[in-house]
Amino acid sequence: MASRVRIKPGLLKRLRDIREIPSEDHQARLMGFDRTTLRRIDAGGVPSAAFMAAMWETFGLGLGEAFEFVENESLCKTERDVETGMVATELGMTASEIVARAERATGEYVRTEMAA
């Protein structure tokens, strides 16, 4: 099975703590990104080459120090759960409510861990 890259879990928060960066927003600005990008990647989304370069430029971390490879299947599930959670937050709903609406709209069962 093919693999994809993601940031090591908890790394962005550890960097904020160690470097005494006051917020996610401040950290994102230091790196040249917005907070939503930072959160998406922190939650398991696939980082762009520009994001990986920013980790080197901002924190001096190489690819092997900041990122790891995961199997596509688990990464796709993580990205789907992140997207469902982000949409739910933006709409002021729970992830379960989003999934239920999707099932009613499509007539199909939507399988996700967040709905449980």
From the list 49, 31, 50, 48, the residue with the least C-alpha distance to 40 is 48
> What is the arithmetic mean of pLDDT over 7-36?
95
pLDDT digits (tens, 9 = 90+) for 36-87: 999 999 988 889 999 999 999 999 998 889 998 887 654 455 556 656 566 5
Tell me what pLDDT residue 93 has.
Answer: 65
Tell me what pLDDT residue 44 has.
Answer: 85
CA gap 115, 16 in Å, rounded: 31
Provide the β-strand partners of residue 3. Answer: 71
Does the model's pTM come out above 0.75? Answer: no
- Which of these CATH numbers, 1.10.730, 3.40.120, 1.10.3470, 1.10.260, describes 3-72? 1.10.260
CA gap 9, 67 in Å, rounded: 9
- pLDDT classification of 29: cutoffs 50, 70, 90: very high
**Domain boundaries in the chain?**
3-72, 73-115
